[in-house]
Amino acid sequence: MRRRFPSLAAALVAGSPALLAAALLAAAPAPAAPPAPSSSLWTNPPARRTAVAIPSVAPLVDRLEPAVLVIFTEAPFTPEALPPSHPPIGPELPFDGEGPELRGQGAGFIVTATGYALTNHHVVENATSIAVRVGDSPDEVPATVVGSDEKTDIALIKLQSPRTDWPVIPLGDSELLKVGDFVVAIGSPFGLEQSVSIGIISGRSRRDIAPSGRAGLYDFLQTDAGINPGNSGGPLLNLYGEAIGINSAVNAAANGIGFAIPINMVKRLLPQLKDKGRFERSWIGVQITGLDLDVAKGLGLDRARGALVREVVPEGPAGKGGLLPGDVIVGFEGKAISDSYELPLLAGEAGVGAKVKLDVVREGKPAVVTILLEAHPDNAAKTVAVSAKEPEHDGSLGVSVVSLDADDRERLKLRTDVAGARVTKVRPGGPSFKAGLAPDDVIVRVGATDIRSAPDFAAAAAAARGGALMKLLVRRGAATMFVPLLVPARDANKPAATP
C-alpha cells in the first residue's frame, strides 16, 4: 500500500527523495483532455485571474518619517570647501556656493527622545549654524554638533529644544543583513524633502571607497536604493523599521550604486562621540599595504590575504611588541584578516590600552606577536625635495635613484653613517610605483645585500630575474620599512624603457 502525504511540506519534512517523488505523483491531477477547438481560445483570458499581492512600505514610512531630518547648514566660504568638479564618488554638493557663506543641505534622523540625532560628518563639517526641519513640519529647530568623526564620516548632533518626546528611529543590527535583503532610504535628494526609495543590499564590506577622494576608515554597505546628493546622513532602513545604516555616498558615474555606513560601526562610536565629542582611535603603529597573488606567494602565503607590514613606527606599539617590516598580519585577536583595509578598522576600534594578539607570517612561517595598543597620533606632512644630481636609471623597475650624500642626510635628518640609494623619481604605473616607493625613500638593502650607492642598486636590479620578488629595506624619514618589488618579466629582444 502506497503511503500518502497530505501535503508536499510533509514529504519534505520526512526527508526522503523517494517519498517526495511519491507525494508529487499523488498530488498531480489526472491529465485533462485537450480543449475543443475554439476561435476564442487564444483571445479570452482564463476564467480565474488572481493578481500577485505586492506589499507596501507605506506603513513603515508613515511610522518613521516623522523622525527624519532635513538639515540646513551654513559655513564660511573658502575655495577649499568646494568639492571637486567631477568627484568619482560624491556624496554631497552644496546648493549655493556664492557669497560669504556656503549653504548646504543634507539629512539625518533622531535616535533618542531627548533630541540626539545622527548624520554624516561631511554634512555638518565646519558649519557655523545648523537648523533642522523634523518630519513634514515647516518649522526649523536649531541644532549643534555634539561629536564627530571624520575618518568614518559619522556625526552626532543635538536638537536645541526642551522637548523630550521626539519621535525616534531604533537602531538595528547591520551584522544580520544579507545581500538581497530589502532596504528603504529616506532623505532629501536635490532638495526634494522626505523622498523615499526602496532597493536591496547589493554588497557588504566595501572598504576601498574614497567618497569625493576623501580617504577614511570605511566598511560600507552597498545598495541600489536611490541615494543622491541630499540623502547624505539619512537612514537606511530594514523592513522592521530599524536603521541599519547611514546613507553616505553615491557613485556619481553609475546608476543605482550607493553606500551606507553600517549601523553597528556607528553604535561602537556613539558613547565616545556623546561623552568626549570625538572617537579616540587606537593603533598598531605600522604602515601596511595589500598583497596580490604573486607577492603573496613570494612571501610564503598560499593566497593573497592579510596586510603586509611595510613600515614599523619607531617606539610605536608594533615596534615595542616585536613586529617587523616584511611580516604579513593574517589575524587580529583570532579574526582572519581578508585584506589590508580590514586591519585599521579592527585596530582603531579595539581601544587604547588593549592587549591584542596578531597572527603573522614571517619569512613563510607562522608566528604570534602580542602588542599593547596606543592612541593614534596625528599624521605629519612630509616635504619631498627635488634633487639636482644626475640620477641612475633602471627603466625596467620604473625608478630613478642617486647616491645618498651629506646634504641628503642633513635634509632628511638621517644619521651620518646611513648610506644607500635615494629615490628621486618613480614612474606612475610602473613596478616601483605599484610597490609603494616614493621620492626621498632611501634603499639600504636588497635581500641580504647592503646598498651603499646608486650603482649598487642598479647592479642588484640588473641581477634580479624577471618575475622574482626583490625584498627591499627602505628608510623613510626616521622609519625603516619593507617593500616587496615584483620584477617584471624581461623580453631579451626588447630594450628596457626609461622612466
Catalytically active residues are: 122, 153, 232
Residue 109: all three cell numbers together: 534622523
φ, ψ for residue 251, nearest 5 deg: -85, 110
Three-state SS string over the chain comes to: CCCCCCCHHHHHHHCCHHHHHHHHHHHCCCCCCCCCCCCCCCCCCCCCCCCCCCCCCHHHHHHHHHHEEEEEEEEECCHHHCCCCCCCECCCCCCECCCCEEEEEEEEEECCCCCEEEECHHHHCCCCEEEEEECCCCCEEEEEEEEEECCCCEEEEEECCCCCCCCCCCECCHHHCCCCCEEEEEECHHHCCCEEEEEEEEEEEECCCCHHHCCCCCCEEEECCCCCCCCCCCEEECCCCCEEEEEEEEECCCCCCEEEEEHHHHHHHHHHHHHHCCCCCEECCEEEECCCHHHHHHCCCCCCCCEEEEEECCCCHHHHHCCCCCCEEEEECCEECCCCCHHHHHHHHHCCCCEEEEEEEECCEEEEEEEECEECCCCCCCCCCCCCCCCEEECCCCEEEEECCHHHHHHCCCCCCCCCEEEEEECCCCHHHHHCCCCCCEEEEECCEECCCHHHHHHHHHHCCCCCEEEEEEEECCEEEEEEEECCCCCCCCCCCCC
Measured over all CA atoms, what is the biggest interatomic distance in the chain, rounded to whole angstroms?
103
80 CB-side CA count, 13 A: 4
42: which residues sit within 8 A by CB, 6+ positions away? none
